Structure 1
Amino acid sequence: MKENPFSLSKQKLLEAYRIMRTIREFEERLHVEFARGDIPGFVHLYAGEEASAAGIMAHLNDNDRIASTHRGHGHCIAKGVGVKEMMAEIYGRATGACRGKGGSMHIADLSKGMMGANGILGAGAPLACGAALAAQKLGHSGVGISFVGDGGSNQGMFLESLNLAAVWNLPVVFVVENNGYAESTSVEWAVATDSFVDRATGFGIPGITIDGTDFFAVHEAAGEVIKRAREGGGPSLLECKMVRFYGHFEGDAQTYRAKGELDDIRANKDCIKLFQARVKETGVISQAEFERIDQEIVALVDQAIAEAKAAPLPIAKDLLTDVYVRY
């Protein structure tokens, strides 16, 4: 085997691949399962964006808090939420991460620092500020991570959160996952600046734009801004320019996309293919090792779906549980 040229060990590289492949398989299977009509509510798939979640969450622990979006399955998996609990939640079952009461857009697991996916655009930013403030006041090195899309970044609460974080010098990182479309509107028509870094600059916050399809670029940049936050350097903004393979929601005809656009991004901007090619070229990980992980993940998702379908639904009295915190 050749010498490892990466800053990550072989074990860490395998873990990163496992996370990305788990997200991809989870989402690809949901695409099929949702079409069967067994899943209640809406589903917004993260397929194509896996490098962002995997690269950022590699630097976090259970004490760090993330606030996700309506497209949050990838963030959940990368933060350590159980695949089986997630699948059961999406099916609305009592064995789900939120006992079947949150569904796809509101999965949460506070034990993993996952404060929740969020059906309200931009609403995660103030939550991440709150988590960062708590870490600051408690005197530990935890950070808050806010995820938002290019469309959600136009919400007032996101901009207010940038200001709050700057004023209080909070240990928070604002991640803008720019996949090019605010639902069906191109970012070129919806955002009055060429770079989200310019928005951060307006609040005195440093920012960086990276290729969100490049796991290594995400991992390196995220490591820098998270380290800065932990050490008291204050907030940062990280723009990940990326692609999504599916529509805004399941059932979206995507008539706003150019002819051949989907084929092109599948062929040339697939973050998992790019990761595999770069790593295999060095000889650090073999194709057989990648395939073994693939097989394990397919089996895991198969089992998660089977168990979710067989799990019980919530009952009427469950409506009154987990509503208020008792101290």
Structure 2
Amino acid sequence: MSFPRTRMRRLRKSENVRRLVRDVHLSTDDLLYPVFVREDVEGKNEIESMPGQYHYSLQALDELISSCEESQVPGVLIFGVPEEKDEIGSEAFKEDGIVQRAVRKFRENSDLAVFTDVCLCHYTSHGHCGVLGEDGLDNDRTLEVLNQVVVSHAEAGADFVSPSGMMDGQVKSIRDALDDRDHEDVGIMSYSAKFASSFYGPFREAAESAPEKILDIPHLENRETYQMSFKSSDQPIREVALDLEEGTDIVMVKPALPYLDVLRRVDEKFDVPLAAYQVSGEYAIAKEGGDSDRLDEKDIFLESLAAMKRSGANFIITYAALDVARWLNEG
């Protein structure tokens, strides 16, 4: 019906009316908290580039577990920062590696869902996401190492492993490795549509994973030979389709806010669990805006996370998870 019979403002006349007609809902159930566990710290040390985020020692995880449980955040995504690194990232698959010990700590002390990041960039001396060869990153040799990593995470008790290196065939290789070791119940959340983004800077400082420019290997001054160009529109859809064919359980779009169009396309095309990753740069911008007194930090996070839900995300990986949960619990 035409104006003036149709007056949309009737649906906005009071807070309680607005609550009744909302069709996008954000709750603590929608949050997965990424955490950094580090070998060479005592207690917890704040990460300078990510205010409010910390490097946790194994001993400090008790406090973190309590915070997650009190906030009703359902799970964590664990990143490890080892004390030693080498060319192939061998610390990543050690039975007593930092992530493996952290997973056991969570398993022994909580019912939180435990996801582990599976990439070599914070374990390699050169900061790239895999094993290097003469012509660049060696995809298939990298898969052999990742297979060892995921088995070690599964044996420690991880619920989901999360390959983030954008290696071709990584989901199938990992699925086969898990199944061959009787870990059929361990799921995969793949970083299916991961872009070579300028929003990763604070994370690379936190994880000590900035890639080196290696002069004698062509085309390896950055990660653009494996992560997607932000000018790609159809490639992420193909990547998601391939990961699903290979056996992933959950797909992800990373970063989130600059790629809401990709989230929407994935949601419309594939009826599967979809995660959005609000990355470190997005987090830092919101925090800095709130610190400037020109913007409200709470409003920025709640609005941006609602946009991700509106675009089709089932849940959101965000460094603001504990703060957002507190705001939501306060009503």
Assess same fold via TM > 0.5.
Answer: no
- Larger relative strand fraction: 2
- Larger relative helix fraction: 1
- What TM-score do you get using the length of structure 2 for normalisation? 0.34
Q: Which has the larger radius of gyration?
A: 2
- What TM-score do you get using the length of structure 1 for normalisation? 0.34
